[in-house]
Amino acid sequence: GPKRTGPELLCQLKGNVRITTLTPDLKPFSSLPWASLLPPRPLTFDLGPFKSCAVVTSAGSLKRSGLGKEIDSHDAVLRFNSAPTVGYEKDVGTKTTVRLMNSQVMVSDEHRFLSSSLYSAGILVAWDPAPYSSDLGEWYNRTDYPIFQQYQKYRRLHPQQPFYILHPCMEWQLWERIQANMAEAIQRNPPSSGLLGTVLMMSLCEVVHVYEFLPSRRKTELCHYYQRYYDAACTLGAYHPLLYEKNLVKRMNLGRDRDIYTHGRVTLPGFNSFNC
């Protein structure tokens, strides 16, 4: 239950969360005319392994952090949703290897997903809150947002850019791990992009540094480093079980508490760098 140690938690994640993406051979996609737009192999076959990786949350506490150089020194950098680098280089760096987006970002007008150059750097990975069953057919018929329509449009406009879709088993297997390690019942909503991206990078990298997921001394109600919008729920969670995700990451952290305080930095081992 709730008392498991860091190494036990890491082994649970490694053993119970399958990290994979949609491929054209999976039903129901295999019988759809656009299946060939999906990458032939899962992301974990095509990318990495990397030595060191940075996961850059979008938290307002990154503002005036001066972490840009440190972030860029990693072999791969993951960013989220519509988080920009241009104009924020000193604090968040310039390198984008992977961008993980929720389906809302792909669809809502304000993000201009199909036309903005913000999305043209690196490899794209999208996810959508799927029904708890993780059944692909069931999900296909009732996605939270029309992720597959947008996916096809984007792929046709930008055929050269690698673009993957997370298999929904990942979100719910991860959710199960959060619930299994908390004393109380948590809301049955998928984990935030932040935790999904962290676990994705743990499968691709030897060491993962996550920035401002556990807030530093710069902790603020400013939601994002790139927007003048204040809401404590961005850091504490509302829809996503974010507080519980952060509790889990805190318990798995191999770095010093001091690094969280000064740099907002957590250190996690890649799944291939420990045995269970």
Q: Is 244 in the site for ligand NCC (CB under 6 A)?
A: no
Task: Give residues 109-138 in contact with ligand NCC (rule: CB under 6 A).
Answer: none
If we measure between CA atoms, which residue out of 44, 43, 26 comes closest to residue 35? 26
Query: Shortest gap between Cβ of 80 and ligand NCC (angstroms)?
Result: 4
Q: Is 85 in the site for ligand NCC (CB under 6 A)?
A: no
Q: Side chain identity at 246, as an amino acid letter?
A: K
Query: From the list 174, 234, 248, 249, which residue makes contact with ligand NCC (rule: CB under 6 A)?
Result: 234
List the structure tokens of 172.
């719910």
Any idea what DSSP says for residue 71? H
Q: Are 13 and 270 spatial neighbours (Cβ–Cβ below 8 Å)?
A: no
DSSP annotation string for 124-161: EEEE----TT--HHHHHHS-SS-HHHHHHHHHHH-TTS
Q: Is 168 in the site for ligand NCC (CB under 6 A)?
A: no
Query: From the list 123, 174, 204, 223, which residue makes contact with ligand NCC (rule: CB under 6 A)?
Result: 223
Cβ closer to ligand NCC: 92 or 207?
Answer: 92
Q: Is 216 in the site for ligand NCC (CB under 6 A)?
A: no
Site of tokens 């990298």: 205
Q: Is 190 in the site for ligand NCC (CB under 6 A)?
A: no
CA distances from 7 to 50, 96, 213, 273 (A): 22, 30, 20, 12
Candidates 54-62, 87-95, 201-209, 248-256; binding stretch for ligand NCC (CB under 6 A)? 54-62
Candidates 65-73, 74-82, 172-180, 257-265; binding stretch for ligand NCC (CB under 6 A)? 74-82
Three-state SS for 198? helix
Binding site for ligand NCC (CB under 6 A): 57-60, 80-82, 102, 104-105, 192-194, 213, 223, 234-235, 239-240
